Amino acid sequence: MPHISTAHEVLAVVFQVRRVENSPPSAKPALHVLLWQRALEPEKGKWSLPGGQLGSDEDLTSSVRRQLAEKVDLRELAHLEQLAIFSDPHRVPGPRTIASTFLGLVPSPATPELPSDTRWHPVSDLPPMAFDHAPMVEHARTRLVAKLSYTNIGFALAPAEFALSALRDIYSAALGHPVDATNLQRVLERRHVITRTGTTARSGRSGGRPAALYRFTDARYRVTDEFAALRPPG
């Protein structure tokens, strides 16, 4: 039977590098995605990406920003961009619905207030997901990994100022493999992505030489080396 109408929804894959809930303070942070739990059928109890139907008077970007603010009270996005279209005729029950996905990034120090049905989940340990939302998360993760190699998009995951060890942990979490801090520093400085602030971090309990602090040169997205790739060690 042919479809007689087509709906359009916008969905946001919002990532943040943060400490895994209930993990020890010494644990490394991990890449998390923001999900909300469905209270009604279809797929009641499963977890979904935030978003919803495109309004008749909205463009895609305005719609996803509105719905993130209204539905999960998220306004602290450092980066937002459209990623892909998911158009399988049977991706959701009922009228055919095309989905436009967006990549959103929240910097590590931000702690947005979330509704009770919304939580951060480690990307490596997703809960049961509704519809085709799990492939959407994987697609967004793949795109983020690629963009970390050839753009300065790390600015949207990092604090305003950071030690190289903290930036290494952020890149390691987002890329999914260990990163050497010295090599990362060399690559990012050569591309003029990060710069020294001229200040140092406070010394820890163990003392030692205070770590130099860095910042991203730009807080706006730009391509730095279109053929670059940050590969796993070995």
Q: What is the pLDDT of residue 191?
A: 93
pTM (predicted TM-score): 0.93
- Within 8 A by CB and 6+ apart from 231, the residues are none
Numbered ranges of CATH 3.90.79.10 in the chain = 6-148
Numbered ranges of CATH 1.10.10.10 in the chain = 152-216
Q: Indicate the pLDDT class of residue 181, thresholds 50, 70 and 90.
A: very high
| pLDDT tens profile 107-141 | 998 888 889 999 999 999 999 999 999 999 999 99
CATH numeric code, 152-216: 1.10.10.10
Distance CA 33, CA 18 (A): 10
Q: Indicate the pLDDT class of residue 234, thresholds 50, 70 and 90.
A: low
Q: What is the CA radius of gyration of the chain?
A: 19
Count Cβ atoms below 10 Å from residue 79 Cβ, excluding itself: 20
Q: What is the pLDDT of residue 4?
A: 60
Mean pLDDT, the chain, rounded, equals: 92
Distance CA 14, CA 12 (A): 6
State what percent of residues in the chain have pLDDT above 90. 78
Strand segments, DSSP code E, in the chain are 6-18, 30-37, 47-48, 51-53, 79-86, 96-105, 118-122, 162-163, 194-200, 212-216
Out of 73-82, 127-136, 169-178, pick the least confident: 73-82
| pLDDT tens profile 203-227 | 655 556 789 999 999 999 999 987 7
Q: What is the pLDDT of residue 1?
A: 46
Question: Which one has a higher pLDDT value, 182 or 206?
Answer: 182
CATH 3.90.79.10 given to domain 6-148: yes
